[in-house]
Chain A
Amino acid sequence: MIARLVGSAFAAAMMAACIHPSVAATPEVVQVGSKKFTESVILGEMLAQVIEAAGNPAYHRRELGGTRVLWGALLKGEIDVYPEYTGTLRQEILAAENLGSDAELREALARRGLRMTGSLGFNNTYAIGVSGDLADELALTTISDLRAHPGLVMGFGNEFMNRADGWPGLRAHYRLPQENVRGLDHDLAYRGIASGSLQVIDLYATDAEIAYYGLRSLQDDQGFFPVYDAVLLYRADLETRLPGVVAQLQRLAGRIDAATMAGLNARVKIERHAESAVAAEFLRSRLGLHAVGDVTSVWQRLARHTLEHLLLVAISLSAAILVALPLGILAARRPRLGQSILAAAGVLQTIPSLALFVFMIPLLGIGGPPAVVALFVYSLLPIVRNTHAGLTNIPLAIRESAQALGLPAPSRLRLIELPLSAPTILAGIKTAAVINVGTATLAALIGAGGYGQPILTGIRLDDIGLILEGAVPAAVLALAVQGVFEATERLVVPHGLRLEQTTGC
């Protein structure tokens, strides 16, 4: 019976995955990916609309969490195309190969079954920015000028902090002395510099905020930053599968210069237009395409995110209950094995959730299934531990009374031990459910959607309203789930255990 339940849970998992048409991959739908920053999302929208305008269905998997996620998904064939930068390919993804010219880069990509278009027309390299006032006060014009001011507070995007062509390389190249350097989300850095808590941040050359916040980019006087030409990276097999599509992609090459891109970014980030609308507008005016950007209403988005979130939680939590309950029982029955089971579940719990999501990509790709597996793993420990605790804390007198009656072990478990530990087991399931609802907001980073999607977008666009659009329903869902389990408690926990101890003799 358990096998059947697990089976149907996985069938349901597949259904969850199908919210994203990708996994139902009919070969005609071109899968477009984008990274979780505005420029990438706008370019992703453009790609999808260009393809659709040519009569091919396309699906845009927006704001996936970082270069590695997209690169992995492209290699696995879960996406067909995404916007990338040549600098990122050379310096980060293929850094080990020390690629020089574009020809060498194309060759390295070809060996992996990938191709890239020519430059879209802009070089979005890194830059180092300070506020205009500070630049005037300290007479800062070049990066070398920073050497004279070791006390400056620096805040860099997490990716820039860690990559070889980011802060570590820049510091070595310019021998920069600053110690007060912190890593943070790139989008938060602007707010940091506006509020004065940061003085030096990293920029992208096409960032919309440079003008908005009155920032000045310092000149790369010693030529450290590599070229970051924007290109479209796609699977070579796309040319045989859908030759028309590749021709459409090539149309975008050389059509967007840096000023245009910064303007598009500003339309979204500062003027708050939808990416789809901004992309459509560009395609209509510059390429004369009849592009349509669908704009969804708050309620449509809420309904979709709720469904996605509920499916993620329901499937992962039910599977965790089905696995953790027997494990907890086993742990209580075999104390020595039990120690190992509890230790293993504890170790799984310590894996940072984002890392766990990313580990799943090579195994299960992106989208619903890897998110469900990661959430399942996180839900195990509270249930295993509480089942174990509930069973081992049953008073000896009661356990022995059941034995002395001559009840066989399985009946003892069913009639006596499980009902008596029901309150503790339910408490564990409740904890797991609340953790699950919260952690599921991270699943958006690997393309599984849910309430994390508006939160991600909201952080990116510095839009509190959008953040709340994800955070509030997530909190409400956590409370609702808890309420459901409290109601269940009244059904599952035997009446005799909910009585107050009576006094007297």
Chain B
Amino acid sequence: MLELTQVSKRYGSTAALAATDLMVPAGQTTVLIGPSGCGKSTLLRLVAGLVRSDSGSIRVGGTTVTPENLDVVRRRMGYVIQEGGLFPHLTVRRNATLMAEHLKWPAARIEQRLRTLTEMVRLSPELWPRYPLELSGGQRQRVSLMRALMLDPDLLLLDEPLGALDPMIRFELQRELKSIFDRLGKTVVLVTHDIAEAAFFGDRLVLMREGGIVQQGSLRQLAAQPAEPFVERFISAQREPVRLLNEVLG
């Protein structure tokens, strides 16, 4: 579905992403995980065409992405970021339907798609005329997801979509997102730094460090056969709070 061949990106003298190969299989959720500055967001932004790679090629659904076809390819991807990136001057409805309107979909089709998505993300249609500033953080992420899914894209890119939410809302949305992904059967690439979230979503984890991929596989594989000591350290560092929690609760 998504294929990166020797893709690299430098910012000045620092390599944000060393020459990297990655295959993302269709219909699965792939999670990019690693510490801050490991290049996971850069990789996602390269796929979304928000930064230009210095070398290599990116293929989406068999099409090599070029500056000329970028806008067309983007319409087959949905993109969600941490704070939602909703347009503050547009209502919930316009945020979601902007692109469909631009593509001159018939009004009835837009209306129907909007209804389906509102139901899917469990939002009330009463919020349609509201503006982003009048929504809670969780509601904004739901609208952001509606916007990303409007054109029914093949590929969904999510950059720390739940990162800015408080733990209760986050827990609730994780479950809902997972069930939406499972229902839709889309190819999903999700960036997070939280290994529990990664394991919860991911059929396959891609662990990154300092602009390169360290190891790929399920969490079980990563834990059982770490490719290098960093993998073990990364997993155990994130296990520690859970161990402490269990200890206190007995």
Contacts and interface: CB of A to CB of B under 8 A. Distances in A.
Interface stretch (A100-108, A220-228, A325-333, A407-415): A407-415
Given A405-B147, A500-B133, A420 B89 contact: yes
Given A407-B98, A407-B99, A505-B138, A496 B83 contact: no
A402 B74 CA distance: 11
A401 B88 contact: no
A405 B134 CA distance: 23
Contacts of B81: 397, 400-401
Contact of B98 (A405, A494, A497, A500): A405
A308 B138 CA distance: 57
Contacts of B107: none
A397 B169 contact: no
Contacts of B163: none
B98 A504 contact: no
A337 interface: no
B161 interface: no
Contact of B87 (A402, A403, A404, A495): A402
A405 B74 contact: yes
A463 B165 CA distance: 69
A398 B132 CA distance: 12
Interface in A417-436: 419-420
A497 B89 contact: yes
Interface residue range, chain A: 20 to 34
A401 B131 contact: no
Contacts of B75: 405-406
Given A398-B88, A406-B71, 16 more contacts: A397-B83, A400-B45, A400-B85, A403-B49, A405-B79, A405-B98, A407-B102, A415-B98, A415-B102, A420-B89, A494-B90, A496-B87, A496-B89, A497-B88, A500-B133, A505-B165
Contacts of A415: 98, 102
A500 to B, nearest CB: 7
Interface string B142-156: 000001000000000
A401 B85 contact: yes
Contact of B102 (A401, A411, A494): A411
A505 B169 contact: yes
A297 interface: no
B89 A501 contact: no
A426 to B, nearest CB: 14
A496 B90 contact: yes
Contacts of B137: 505
A495 B91 CA distance: 9
A499 interface: yes
Interface residues of B, number: 39
A181 interface: no
Contacts of A408: 71
13 contacts: A397-B85, A398-B87, A398-B88, A400-B81, A401-B81, A401-B87, A406-B75, A407-B98, A496-B88, A496-B90, A496-B91, A499-B133, A502-B133
B77 interface: yes
Contacts of B98: 405, 407, 415
A416 interface: yes
Nearest to A420: B89
B108 interface: no
B72 interface: yes
A422 to B, nearest CB: 8
B86 interface: yes
Contacts of B70: 406
B136 interface: yes
Contacts of A397: 81-85
B136 A504 contact: yes
Interface of B: 45, 48-50, 70-75, 77, 79, 81-91, 98-99, 102, 131-138, 147, 157, 165-166, 169
Contacts of B91: 496
6 pairs of A and B residues whose beta carbons are closest in the complex: A401-B85, A494-B89, A406-B74, A496-B131, A404-B79, A406-B75
A502 B136 CA distance: 8
Nearest to A504: B136
Interface string A480-503: 000000000000001111011110
Nearest to A411: B102
Q: Most chain-A CB neighbours within 10 Å: which of B48, B89, B99, B131? A: B89
A420 B74 contact: no
B22 to A, nearest CB: 19
Nearest to B136: A505
A415 B165 CA distance: 28
A502 B138 contact: no
Interface string A227-256: 000000000000000000000000000000
A501 B135 CA distance: 9
Contact of A419 (B50, B85, B89): B89
Contacts of A500: 133
Contacts of A398: 85-88
A497 to B, nearest CB: 5
A502 B131 CA distance: 11
B119 to A, nearest CB: 22
Nearest to B70: A406
Nearest to B147: A405
A496 B133 contact: yes
